[in-house]
């Protein structure tokens, strides 16, 4: 400190804090100094990081809202429908019971596909 204008290290630290180069916390154990990096590249990098975090948060918020909307829609649909209980298939006499594994659209295509999907009981 002999070649400087400050008579003590405390005076120099206080100058750095006033000039905005660092932050100082004075505690009973001593002084804690944290350097403030004002490099333009570092500041730009920090801004990009903050924007990315904000974007991620907004994306998470949109996803959460979308899920809530789907849940509400499913609840409305569930309230509107009567739940029917499954029943046993009852056969009367020598009646044949048939069912098809294909949809109605495929049944109209031709008899060969219809025959493949039928089961006889």
Nearest Cα neighbor of 89 from 98, 100, 80 is: 98
- Whether residue 52 has pLDDT greater than 60: yes
40: left (phi over 0), alpha (psi -120 to 50) or beta: alpha
Domain boundaries, the chain: 1-36
Which has more pLDDT, 11 or 115?
11
User: What are phi and psi for residue 49, nearest 5 degrees?
Assistant: -65, -45
Residue 68: its pLDDT value, please? Answer: 93
Element (H, E) at 76: helix 40-80
Tokens describing residue 53? 């975090």
pLDDT in tens, 3-43: 888 888 888 888 988 988 899 998 899 889 898 888 888 88
| pTM of the predicted model over 0.85 | no
CA 76/CA 69 separation, integer angstroms: 11
- Residue 119 pLDDT level (bands cut at 50, 70, 90): low
Residue 120: its pLDDT value, please? Answer: 52
pLDDT in tens, 59-99: 888 888 899 999 999 888 877 765 666 778 777 778 777 77
Asked if 97 contacts 121 with a C-beta cutoff of 8 angstroms, the reply is yes
Residue 114: its pLDDT value, please? Answer: 46
The single-letter DSSP state of residue 82 is: P
């Amino acid at each position: 400190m002999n070649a400087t204008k400050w008579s003590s290290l405390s005076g120099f630290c206080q100058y750095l804090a006033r000039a905005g180069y660092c932050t100082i916390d004075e505690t009973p154990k001593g002084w804690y100094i944290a350097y403030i990096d004002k490099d333009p590249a570092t500041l730009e990098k920090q801004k990009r990081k903050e924007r990315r975090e904000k974007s991620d948060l907004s994306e998470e918020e949109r996803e959460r809202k979308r899920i809530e909307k789907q849940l509400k829609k499913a609840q409305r649909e569930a309230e509107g429908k009567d739940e029917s209980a499954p029943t046993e298939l009852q056969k009367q006499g020598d009646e044949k019971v048939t069912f098809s594994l294909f949809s109605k659209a495929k049944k109209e295509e031709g008899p060969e596909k219809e025959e493949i999907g039928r089961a006889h009981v």
